[in-house]
Amino acid sequence: MMAGTAAGLAVAGIAAPAAAQRAKSAAGAALPDPRTRYPRPPFDTAMQPFPGLAGKMTPRPDHGETSYVGSGRLTGRRALVTGGDSGIGRAAAIAFAREGADVAISYLPAEEADAREVIALIRQAGRTALGLPGDIRDERWCNRMVAQTVRELGGLDLLVNNAGRQQQRQALADLSSEDFDATMKTNLYAMFWITKAALPHLPAGASIIQTTSEQAYDPSANLVDYAMTKAAMMNFTKSLAKQLGPKGIRVNGVAPGPIWTPLQVAGGATAEKLREFGGDTSLGRPGQPVELGSIFVQLAANDATFSTGQVYGAAGGTGQP
């Protein structure tokens, strides 16, 4: 009986400090309120000519420049992120570098100012950074870009097809063939060309991630061509996952809702819509790119090896995946 009492006291002695610590943590932790953690509308930012720069937005988007802290989850990986100069691609590039990956980013030459900031951040993380300015609507450039990445990073095992074109048009009659063609080539043809060029270099264990959109599930009336491409990207993800699974290559997607990026201020939304952008989400604000960085890391990481053909949503309560 005394032995049992002693054991009980010992257990109580262990449990009591643990319980006290939990109580202290609960009382002392400052949990971020998702409603007020980042700026809420109304916004007073100027529209920009396409493709737009994050550095000229007010407020500036948060890509994780000062907040994302890595823990070595992608040590030794070699990544190519299209559209890595700003927005969601920039957040993914920063997160990958701080998790230990070398990163190549592609972008339009007009986005050089934003790209230089990202390249500096990747290097500050102690990783190799490669800038690839060019137009991914050109198949020959897509092939050269992949080849250069493989050559300078020593291989490729992580591909993010993120670059996108979004130009709102209020009526189908306003959507020219030139506009339609530019959106299709940027969002779909380039994804096809880049992935096809990358496949011979991707080993078992590699990961491909597409940035699709809630527009694939719930299209807006004024984004007909853009929504079409995002639905196609979703199906590309699921189909390719079945094709590449037997080879040990995983393919997944991320479907954001309204995210505060240059895509919106450079013609993706009207000035009126931009002022209240994201205000109709459950959280009453748009998302910031940094809030998606950890999703890309998780889909790329080695502890997510059973996730393929999946589309992860991040839409503030409005998305469907």
- Residue ranges of the alpha helices (H) in the chain? 2-28, 87-98, 112-124, 139-153, 177-184, 190-198, 224-244, 262-263, 271-275, 290-300
Q: State the Cα–Cα distance between residues 200 and 86, nearest whole angstrom.
A: 28
| Residue type at position 229 | T
Active site (annotated) includes residue 107: no
Q: State the Cα–Cα distance between residues 236 and 226, nearest whole angstrom.
A: 15
- Those residues with Cβ within 8 angstroms of residue 87's Cβ, 6 or more apart along the chain or in another chain: 54, 61, 63, 162, 259, 261, 262, 263, 289
> CA of 222: how far to CAs of 43, 47, 71, 180, 269, in Å?
21, 17, 41, 13, 9
Q: Which of 107, 217, 226, 312 is catalytic?
A: 226
DSSP structure string for 74-113: TTT-EEEEETTTSHHHHHHHHHHHHTT-EEEEEE-GGGHH
Q: State the Cα–Cα distance between residues 310 and 304, nearest whole angstrom.
A: 11
Stated as kind and residue range, the H or E segment containing 211 is: strand 207-211
Q: Can you state the percent helix, strand and coil of the chain, rounding each to 5?
A: 50, 10, 40
CB-count exposure of residue 30 (10 Å: 0-12, 13-18, 19+): exposed
Cis peptide before 49 (omega within 30 of 0): no
For residues 101 and 78, the answer to whether their CB atoms sit within 8 Å is: yes
The token duo for 262 is 């240059």
User: What residues are annotated to the active site?
Assistant: 226
